[in-house]
Amino acid sequence: MLLCGGIFARRALFLTRIVAGARPSDRPGALPERVVAEAEIVLGQKKLLQRFVPGLMHAFIFWGFIVLFPTIVLAAIDVAGGHVATPEWYRALSDVFAVLVLVGVATAVVIRKVVRPARFAGSHLGEADLILGLIALVVITLLFWHHVGGVGFAWAHLVVIGVFLAYLPHSKHLHIATAAVNVWMARTRRRGRLEPLRFDVPDDELRFGVATIADLTRKEVVDAFSCTECGRCQDACPAYATGKVLSPKLLIMGVRDQLFAQSAEPIVGSGVPEEMIWDCVTCGACVEACPVSIEHIDHIVDLRRSRLMVDASFPTEAEPMLRDVERASNPWGKPQTERAAWAAELGVRVLEPGDPAPEYLYWVGCAASFDERAKKSAESTAKLLQKAGIDFAILGPREGCTGDPARRMGNEYVFQAAAEQNVATLNDQGVTKIVASCPHCFNTLANEYGDFGGSYEVLHHTELLAELVESGRLKPSSSASSITYHDSCYLARHNDVRVQPRKLLNVIGQPVEMKRSGKQTFCCGAGGAHMWMEERGSQINVERAREAAETGAETLAVACPFCTVMLDDGVREVGAELRVADVATLLAESLR
Amino acid sequence: MILVHVDSDELSGQAVGFARTLGHVRAVTFAGAYQPAAWAKALAAQEAEAIVAAGSDRGNELLAHVGAILDQPFAANVISLDGDRVTRVRWGGSLLEEAGLHGAPKLLTVAPYTQPAAEIGDVETLDAPDDGSPKVLETVEESSGGVSLRDAKVVVSGGRGVGSAEGFAIIEELAGLLGGAVGCSRVVTSAGWRPHADQVGQTGTKISADLYVACGISGATQHIAGAKGAKKILAINTDPEAPIFASADYAVIGDLHEVVPAISAELRKVRG
């Protein structure tokens, strides 16, 4: 037993030192939310139970271990020759949970040996078998001790637990010790926010993302330690589903292997293949699926930052976009003077310096300003706001790209320059409320500009329009047309906007849901700067368009200009009879 | 003494001008076919405080070889050198990096068009024996018609409407008749009908043709971003709602499979 404890302690010290030596994470306060997260995600097993059978399997084992914990002390007292009368109710309770644990283990064996889900591809299967065996032995020895009796079984029970303890921190089952910590450290507010890099610090503190394990933040280290290789992230990943190199699971495992080996090699190239970090669309499906609150996007963006800013190595086709965001203030290099061209006919007010602030600043975004297909959404939104009598205005040529694609590509310089410029314009203009058309702009304005001195109340246009319909300022009419709604990742997942667009569609048509919707939505393929990168293999937008067509709906409603363009392309590709239109456009049409 | 490798391009004058601000310059060149490893060996054998070349593809390749032979650091695309501190251009000009360059001799190339050109003066031809390392044997123009997409006066481009790789035969025919290059949209390269080198767009080539003929291309913003350098745009598309028409000077609403061969036939007829 001492030997087992020694092995455990030695490893625990090694791992603790790694965590303590990592860079601090920027995760402020939010104590009540963290307590709630612990209760729901850890004790309540909320994320695991999203998949009912495997979730229940894990819950049985997890709850069983919590209930059975005191038996270790009781067995130890027995072995030491002491006498404790175990209360009958506890004996009965622990018997019930011991059996539940066995049921859990048996289910796990069936899942792993018979069902063999694809999400385990690349996981260490042997390790899992060993752990399941040990768990079974722990409760079997307990049951024998309870029902056959004798100090021998108490000994056996303790020895198995000792071996389990010694093995645990050397295996992926380390999550038993770290998962609760990881859940505690995870984002609770502003989930779509990336942590900014600080460029105004002394040289030795300057950090350009993550090159080697020495650059990882504490959260990133605990993320890596917490991965159980369950593969729920891999299952949810649109890049993986369409045959890309990226698997969020293998990425985190790669980081962990580098940490365990204490490697000084760059992570990209040794632990993680280069393609993996560029395949990601930052849709957040992996983060949403992860039962232990691993935040994969942070790893990917940090690795991208280092590759792009330090090594100048990134998919070269994205270079014009980065240059254009920086020089032309929009990702297509269009003249800024044309930005408000769509609004001229509608008589939308363009804010001039010194003008009084409107109630709402309408942040149009580059796509809806310049893209022929996406413009329709801006026109519809503006018409609706006019009809409802909302006092609003646009910045016109002084609105610049928020910097989102540059930031998600890893170019923090270009992003921060864009952010500072836009915040200065917005603050000079005295803007307090913003309505944004593009979910990417919306996320950046609402969650990220606060780090650069810009705090505003930000709504997505579907939120404001839903409010206007509810208050009766807009009166849409209903139709028999069937509509399926595609949730944008940056609305549904990163910002919890799922109800309002549906409220609007419920009023104007007959909604049908796709297989993957709401928080479980499947990306259009354009996020994380992928609008400006080439896609290898089969295409995410085509896969999604096929899924939309399967609903049999006549209209595919979207709420993001990038989704509009991607899915319109996808629909043409699969040759479906499906009209792609923004919720705002559909609402405007229903008023006629 | 600063050793400067001089090539036949205009960037070499700029490199010499930069090198004169560092010290006495000895300009050298090589006769015969470009053979970077062999040339670098000859450069590495010279006594010098610094070895400098223009920040061209060749200059950078040559100095990278010198760096490998001497096992010394090499700074590419430098705009200033002060003691051991270099400032250099990264990222196509959007980023300046300050770094320490501690090697001896200092190896660097000069960022193009950041220095005034200087008279090169006397150039000494060094001898570089052929050591069997790779060298340029002949130069072949890329792209079938001998016209590169970037510089072509006419570009005929196909999109999803073309339908297949084979469908590009009529596009190639028209491009051939007009002495132009063949382009395509992103959908086409994603589908594998044409190589990525043919793609016109934000993630492909930005063209500067007099005439751009867009056949069966819907005109996504990312495509227009690559085509907007064209003086005139002729769009052929069955869908009158296609965004391409917003950017087009001339529009034909019709099936490219009929329209394009008809244009080719007319061209043949006119030319006899």
Is residue A514 within 8 A of residue A551, CB to CB? The reply is yes
For A572, the closest of B160, B189, B246 (CB atoms) is: B160
Nearest chain A CA: its distance from B225 CA (Å):
6
pLDDT at A149: 82
In A, minimum Cα distance to B90 occurs at A312
Within 8 A by CB and 6+ apart from B229, the residues are: B206, B207, B208, B209
Whose tokens are 């229903």? That residue is A590
Sequence length of chain A is 592
Q: What is the pLDDT of residues A96-115, one digit of tens each?
A: 999 999 999 999 999 999 99
Q: What is the C-alpha separation between B16 and B13, in angstroms, rounded? A: 5
Q: What is the C-alpha separation between B80 and B85, in angstroms, rounded? A: 8
Q: What is the pLDDT of residues A478-503, one digit of tens each?
A: 999 999 999 999 999 999 999 999 99
* CATH architecture of structural domain B2-126: 3-Layer(aba) Sandwich (3.40)
Give how far the C-alpha of residue A387 lies from the chain's centroid of Cα atoms, to the nearest Å: 37
Is residue B28 within 8 A of residue B125, CB to CB? The reply is yes
Contacts of A317 in chain B (CB under 8 A): 203-204
Is residue A312 very low, low, confident or very high in pLDDT (cuts 50, 70, 90)?
confident
Whose tokens are 């007292």? That residue is A77
Domain segments of chain B as ranges:
2-126, 154-271
Residue A297 is inside which H or E element, if any?
A: helix A296-305
| Predicted confidence (pLDDT) at residue A592 exceeds the cutoff of 70 | no
Residue of B77, B97, B196, B221 to mutate when probing chain A, most A C-beta within 10 A: B221
Within 8 A by CB and 6+ apart from A102, the residues are: A136, A139, A140
Contacts of A321 in chain B (CB under 8 A): 202-203
Residue type, B160: R
Span A147-163, average pLDDT: 90
Q: Phi and psi at residue A334, in whole multiples of 5°? A: -75, 155
SS3 of residue B117 by DSSP: coil
Span A390-406, average pLDDT: 97
Cα A257 to Cα A20, A108, A164, A181, A430: the distances in Å are 18, 25, 21, 20, 50
pLDDT at B90: 81
Is residue B145 very low, low, confident or very high in pLDDT (cuts 50, 70, 90)?
low
pLDDT at B163: 92
Q: Do A321 and B94 touch (CB under 8 A)?
A: no
- Taking all residues of chain A, what is their mean pLDDT, rounded to a whole number? 94
Is residue B142 very low, low, confident or very high in pLDDT (cuts 50, 70, 90)?
low
Contacts of A569 in chain B (CB under 8 A): 187, 218, 220
Residue B125 is inside which H or E element, if any?
A: strand B123-126
Using only the alpha carbons of chain B, give its radius of gyration: 25
Stretch among A190-194, A421-425, A465-469 having the lowest mean pLDDT = A190-194
Span B108-116, average pLDDT: 89
Across-strand partners of A202?
none
Is residue B146 very low, low, confident or very high in pLDDT (cuts 50, 70, 90)?
low
Give how far the C-alpha of residue A587 lies from the chain's centroid of Cα atoms, to the nearest Å: 30
Span A318-329, average pLDDT: 91
pLDDT at B64: 96
For B196, the closest of A319, A532, A534 (CB atoms) is: A534
Its ipTM equals 0.72
Is residue A506 within 8 A of residue A528, CB to CB? The reply is no
Q: What is the pLDDT of residues A520-578, one digit of tens each?
A: 999 999 999 999 998 887 899 999 999 999 999 999 999 999 999 999 999 988 999 99
Pairing of strands B2-5, A579-582: unpaired
Span A514-519, average pLDDT: 95
Contacts of A370 in chain B (CB under 8 A): 221
Q: From the CB of residue B146, how many other CB atoms can be counted at a distance below 10 Å?
A: 11
Q: What is the helix, strand, coil percentage profile of chain A, to 5?
A: 60, 5, 35
Output B96 or B264, whichever has higher pLDDT. B264
Q: Which CATH number fits domain B154-271: 3.40.50.1100, 1.10.287.130, 3.40.50.450, 3.40.50.1220?
A: 3.40.50.1220
pLDDT at A413: 93
Contacts of A581 in chain B (CB under 8 A): none
Q: Same CATH fold, B154-271 and B2-126?
A: yes
Dmax over CA atoms of chain B, in Å, equals 70
Q: What is the C-alpha separation between B177 and B162, in angstroms, rounded? A: 19
pLDDT at A458: 98
Contacts of A374 in chain B (CB under 8 A): 221
For B225, the closest of A333, A413, A533 (CB atoms) is: A333
SS3 of residue B205 by DSSP: strand
Interface residues of A toward B, Cβ cutoff 8 Å, are 312, 317-324, 326-327, 331-334, 367, 370-374, 413-414, 531-535, 539, 565, 569, 572-573
Nearest chain B CA: its distance from A414 CA (Å):
9
Q: What is the C-alpha separation between B126 and B115, in angstroms, rounded? A: 26
* Bond prior to B105 in cis (omega within 30° of 0): yes
SS3 of residue B39 by DSSP: helix
Stretch among A351-355, B10-14, B174-178 having the lowest mean pLDDT = B10-14
pLDDT at B228: 87
| Predicted confidence (pLDDT) at residue A172 exceeds the cutoff of 60 | yes
How much of chain A exceeds pLDDT 90, in percent? Answer: 85
Q: For residue B30, what is the DSSP state?
A: E
Q: What is the C-alpha separation between A306 and A342, in angstroms, rounded? A: 39
- Residue B27 region, left (φ>0) first, then alpha (ψ -120 to 50), else beta? beta
| Predicted confidence (pLDDT) at residue A380 exceeds the cutoff of 60 | yes
| Predicted confidence (pLDDT) at residue A591 exceeds the cutoff of 80 | yes
Q: What is the C-alpha separation between B40 and A90, in angstroms, rounded? A: 82
Nearest alpha carbon to residue A116 among A99, A100, A129: A129
Span A118-136, average pLDDT: 93
Q: Do A320 and B243 touch (CB under 8 A)?
A: no
Q: Phi and psi at residue A372, in whole multiples of 5°? A: -60, -40
pLDDT at A306: 96
Q: What is the C-alpha separation between A321 and A374, in angstroms, rounded? A: 18
Q: What is the C-alpha separation between B53 and B27, in angstroms, rounded? A: 10
Each residue of B66-89: b (16+ CB within 10 Å) or e?
Answer: bbeebebebbbbbebbeeeebbbb
pLDDT at B144: 52
Pull the structure tokens for residue A464: 């404001």
For A332, the closest of B92, B196, B202 (CB atoms) is: B202
Nearest chain A CA: its distance from B160 CA (Å):
8
Q: What is the pLDDT of residues A291-311, one digit of tens each?
A: 999 999 999 999 999 999 998
Using only the alpha carbons of chain A, give its radius of gyration: 27
Q: From the CB of residue A535, how many other CB atoms can be counted at a distance below 10 Å?
A: 20
Within 8 A by CB and 6+ apart from B71, the residues are: none
| Predicted confidence (pLDDT) at residue B94 exceeds the cutoff of 70 | no
Q: How many Cα atoms occupy the beta-carbon half-sphere of A435 within 13 Å? A: 23
Is residue A95 very low, low, confident or very high in pLDDT (cuts 50, 70, 90)?
very high
Is residue B192 very low, low, confident or very high in pLDDT (cuts 50, 70, 90)?
confident
Contacts of A319 in chain B (CB under 8 A): 92
Pull the structure tokens for residue A146: 């309870």
Output A223 or A76, whichever has higher pLDDT. A223
How much of chain B exceeds pLDDT 70, in percent? Answer: 96
pLDDT at A83: 77
Burial class (CB in 10 A: 0-12, 13-18, 19+), B197: middle
pTM: 0.82
Q: What is the C-alpha separation between A547 and A254, in angstroms, rounded? A: 32
